[in-house]
Amino acid sequence: MNDLVKYTNKEDHFGKPLAKKIWDTTRTYDPGSEFRSELGLVKGSVPSTVVTSRSKLRVVITSASCGAFVLLSLGALFACRYHQLHKLKHDVFVDVAGEDDRKVSLGQLRRFSWRELQLATDNFSESNIIGQGGFGKVYKGILLDNTKVAVKRLADYYIPGGEAAFHREVQLISVAVHRNLLQLIGFCTTSSERILVYPFMQNLSVAYRLRDLKPGEKALDWPTRKRVAFGAAHGLEYLHEHCNPKIIHRDLKAANILLDDNFEAVLGDFGLAKLVDTKLTHVTTQVRGTMGHIAPEYLSTGRSSEKTDVFGYGITLLELVTGQRAIDFSRLEEEEDVLLLDHIMKLLRENRLVDIVDRDLNSYDSKEVETIIQVALLCTQSSPEDRPTMAEVIKMLQGDGLTERWAEWEQLEEVRHQEFSLISHKFVWEEESSMDQEAIQLSRAR
């Protein structure tokens, strides 16, 4: 309002200047301007209370916006997670470990997608099948980087044992790493599939090289067979003696011994393997294995141990020498024993070593063949306590301690053979006596 007033220059009677207000009629006077000026509401000025209110309002709006954004983000994440779980229930591949309730520690293994393995195996074409075991088929595959792999598809995932086989094989990776053991390189898992990926062995299995050769392919020579015997022994010895807990393979046979590019033995198919605590001497479990390779005590009681594998290894040695299957019903046509072990025992008693050796072996060291056969028979003794350990087997293959143990075996075998002959003779005599008595009675009745 001061700018609407003019002052005079008059003095009062004491000589002091007298300021007298006069109104400036040239300007418009606003009666409420003084009041607004005192309140700080004049144009161009902002009161502190209003500034504070506006700041608080901005904070509230910003906080509300951030909260809404966080809530929306959480909602989106929840919806995404729900959608993934919903897809999982409908058998859509989930390429991560532990999507279901079961947690598996898979270390540094590669995780393959279902689509990758479909493309690698030509949608699991029957023409790519290279083997079939107790838990599924094995397919040859080629990855996008041209790496050849063997894809083992566990077809019986929902059957008891199928899922356990997957867990066992994966668990073995953390404890079983050896040059004579097949190394798992990856896996694939969906809600209904469990697939294992191994390196592809170009030379396939020992069984294939012994019995299923195609025209033009060469059979395994004797030095290679001897090297396979040593390699398989070292692989088993590692599983039994250097793994904690120890590992029982439980299905050792020529079909489960693969050959790498240098024809070195690599033990594969741990689908039947069993982890055994070192404090336990045996484990009662469901019998798994292949007829002709199963140890008698395992077949009768279901109890497996390292000696169960020793028995299977002995049968495998006989396969290497003879090239024949562990059980072959075609031998019945020649009035021979069905089981390879019994067949070899008969030929050995008749000193027919030449008839034991595979006909595809053009040349071999007869002394080395004899050593392999002796070790095989020591490994396949009926009593597991009499069988050697795999560490002892390796030494005997090298000629260390074999002579003494073989001499003991021959003595025991002679006793067993005599006892068996007596029992057989007594059985035949009793049978003939009963027949004669029956004939006499029938005659009297007439």
Q: Is residue 431 part of a domain?
A: no
Give 272-321 pLDDT, tens digit per residue. 565 444 454 444 455 556 777 788 887 777 778 899 999 999 999 999 99
Residue 7 has pLDDT above 70, yes or no: no
> Does 157 map to a domain?
yes
Label residues 352-383 b or e (16+ Cβ within 10 Å = b).
Answer: eeeebbbeebeebeeebbebbbbbbbbbbbee
Choose among 173, 104, 161: nearest CA to 135: 161
Instruction: Answer whether residue 410 is part of any domain.
Output: no
Total domain count, the chain: 4
Percent of the chain at pLDDT > 70 equals 65
| 27 in the same domain as 161 | no
* Least confident residue range of 92-101, 203-212, 418-427: 92-101
Residue 396 lies in a domain: yes
3-class DSSP assignment, residue 160: coil
pLDDT score of 136: 77
- Return the percentage of the chain with pLDDT > 90, whole number: 32
SS3 (DSSP) at 365: coil
Torsion of CA 129, 131, 133, 139, to 10 degrees: -40
Task: List C-alpha distances in Å: 52 to 38, 45, 66, 381, 437.
Answer: 19, 14, 21, 97, 125
CA distance 252 to 243: 17
> Tens digit of pLDDT for each residue in 158-175?
555 666 666 666 767 667
177 shares a domain with 158: yes
**Top-confidence residue, 258 or 283:** 258
Number of residues that make up the chain: 446
pTM value surpassing 0.75? no
Q: What is the model's pLDDT at position 288?
A: 58
Task: Tell me, yes or no, whether 276 and 357 share the same domain.
Answer: yes
Active site residues: 251
In contact, 294 and 272? CB cutoff 8 Å: no
> Is residue 263 domain-shared with residue 389, that is, in the same domain?
yes
Task: Please report whether residue 446 resides in a domain.
Answer: no
Domain end: 167, 199, 231, which one? Answer: 199
- Do 373 and 244 lie in one domain? The reply is yes
Q: What is the pLDDT of residue 156?
A: 61
Same domain (yes/no): 80, 124? no
Are residues 183 and 212 both part of a single domain?
no
Q: What angle do CA 156, 161, 164 make, to 5 degrees?
A: 105
Q: How far is CA 105 from CA 98, 168, 216, in A?
A: 9, 11, 45
CATH number at residue 146: 3.30.200.20
Same-domain check for residues 177 and 265:
no
144 plus 215 within the same structural domain: no
Binding residues for ATP: 152
Residue-range definition of the domain harbouring residue 353:
208-400
Residues 140 and 55 both lie in one domain: no
pLDDT reported for residue 123: 93
Please give the annotated binding residues, written as ranges.
152
* Contact between 304 and 249 (Cβ < 8 Å): no
Q: 301 and 268 share a domain? A: yes
Q: How far is CA 360 from the centre of its chain?
A: 36
| Encoded amino acid at 357, one letter | V
For the record, the structure tokens of 375 come out as: 């070790």
For position 212, which CATH number holds? 1.10.510.10
The answer to whether position 419 is within a domain reads no
For residue 395, the Cα-to-chain-centroid distance in whole angstroms is 31
Taking the C-alpha atoms of residue 179 and residue 163, their distance in angstroms, rounded to an integer, is 27
The CA-atom distances, in angstroms, between 45 and each of 32, 78, 251, 264 are 16, 50, 94, 94
Instruction: Look at residue 434 and tell me whether its pLDDT is greater than 80.
Output: no
Of the candidates 400, 420, 439, which is a domain's last residue? 400
Distance of alpha carbon 8 from alpha carbon 5, whole angstroms: 10
pLDDT of residue 9: 54
pLDDT given at position 274: 53
Find the range with the poorest average confidence among 259-263, 326-330, 399-403: 326-330
The count of other CB atoms within 10 Å of the CB of residue 145 is 5
Domain for residue 176, yes or no? yes
pLDDT, tens digit (0-9, with 9 covering 90-100), for 70-121: 788 787 777 766 655 544 333 333 333 333 333 444 557 788 999 999 999 9
Question: Is residue 146 over pLDDT 90?
Answer: yes
Question: Do the domain assignments include residue 104?
Answer: no
The single residue listed with the structure tokens 């089981």 is 339
Identify the burial level of 204 via C-beta atoms within 10 angstroms of its C-beta, where 0-12 means exposed, 13-18 middle and 19 or more buried. middle
**Which residue is associated with the tokens 């075996």?**
409
Q: Do strands 148-154 and 110-111 pair parallel, antiparallel, or not at all (unpaired)?
A: unpaired
Residues 258 and 286 in one domain: yes
